[in-house]
Amino acid sequence: MATTLETVRPIELAEIKEARERIAGTIVRTPLIRLELGPGFPDIRLKLENLQPINAYKLRGAANAVAMLSEAERKRGVWTISAGNAGQGVAYAARKAGVPCSVVAIETAPLSKLERMKALGAKLIPVSYDVAWKALEERSYPGAEGTFIHPFDDHNFIAGHATMGLEILEDAPDTVVVIAGIGGGGLITGVGSAIKAIKPDVQVWGVEPETAAPGALSFSMGSPQIFKEWKPSFVDGAGGQSVFPRMWERMKPIVDDYIVVSLEETKRAMRLMAEKARVISEGAGALPLAAALTGKAGQGPIVAIVSGGNIDLKKFSELIESVMV
């Protein structure tokens, strides 16, 4: 299967600009707001991708990938693998294009994400996390039919995410560091590609939870690694079991550094956004703010990408009530 894959290549600025035009009628140009924390804190701005129609950034990539399918591919329908946000993105874009969609869905995903995928017309095939990760590597799953859209290792998907980088530099041209959470690596590769093409001096940092940090491990080792101590957590939208070699090839020239944050720091960031900016973020969306608050990325201006807000409200309340800011 790997021999049929397109060779990994850089995401060109022209492709990103074309993607922006292509998806303009589907996605929202999300706001970038300053998080007012007072003296002694870094200058942090939040890129609110939780305000997309599916409450997550994945719609950018999905809309671009679906729009670029051939007519024959559309007729076969599409399928993807997801813990929720990619599935929602592909289902949303597919429904708009009149294309059938199936999602091999991680069964432990938040109920809100599973229900949203079904509401968008997706046929769900529930599997365990381990089975889903294996299917991501193999790009196949029994019973899943149609054109496969990989939720991160897909050039067109990544180019869609990259449109966010254009918006960030237009709205905050004084940005010094951009921080993005890492799951599969598609978000940071896309945004970083746009940032580096326009302002190569701007640093791009990745962040992962302590329970699932293969990116930081790979960075320290200089090669793609498996994170053997992987544990599931409420940060279900970021932190994988490993870094795929193809994604390492994409990330290596773009990502300047990695930060690992604790689950407590992540919960604290979720609460801080709710209290200071009235923003509801899922765990993965709070990782960049948690990273910025460590001070490791400097005093800024730092753009922290709030990648999504798809979390059960009861769970969100329980998480933020368990920490003090």
Nearest to 46 by CA among 54, 38, 37: 37
* 38 against 269, higher pLDDT: 269
pLDDT at position 160 over 60: yes
Residue with tokens 């580096």: 196
pLDDT band at 2 (very low <50, low <70, confident <90, very high): very low
Q: What is the pLDDT of residue 38?
A: 87
Q: What is the pLDDT of residue 157?
A: 95
The structure tokens listed for 300 are 């800024």
Give the chain's mean pLDDT: 93
Contact between 255 and 204 under an 8 Å Cβ cutoff? The reply is: yes
Mean pLDDT of the 280-300 span: 96
Instruction: For 274-285, write each residue's pLDDT tens digit.
Output: 999 999 999 999
Phi, psi angles (nearest 5°) of residue 108: -90, 5
pLDDT band at 325 (very low <50, low <70, confident <90, very high): low
Q: For the chain, which domains are there? A: 11-55+161-321 (3.40.50.1100), 59-148 (3.40.50.1100)
Mean pLDDT of the 87-109 span: 90
Mean pLDDT of the 149-160 span: 93
Distance CA 281, CA 273 (A): 8
Instruction: For 168-188, write each residue's pLDDT tens digit.
Output: 999 999 999 999 999 999 999
Distance CA 262, CA 267 (A): 9
Q: What is the pLDDT of residue 112?
A: 82
Instruction: For 208-265, write each residue's pLDDT tens digit.
Output: 999 999 999 999 999 999 999 999 899 988 888 899 999 999 999 999 999 999 999 9
Residue 84: DSSP 8-state: S
Distance CA 242, CA 247 (A): 10
Q: What is the pLDDT of residue 3?
A: 42
Q: What is the pLDDT of residue 228?
A: 93
Distance CA 80, CA 249 (A): 22
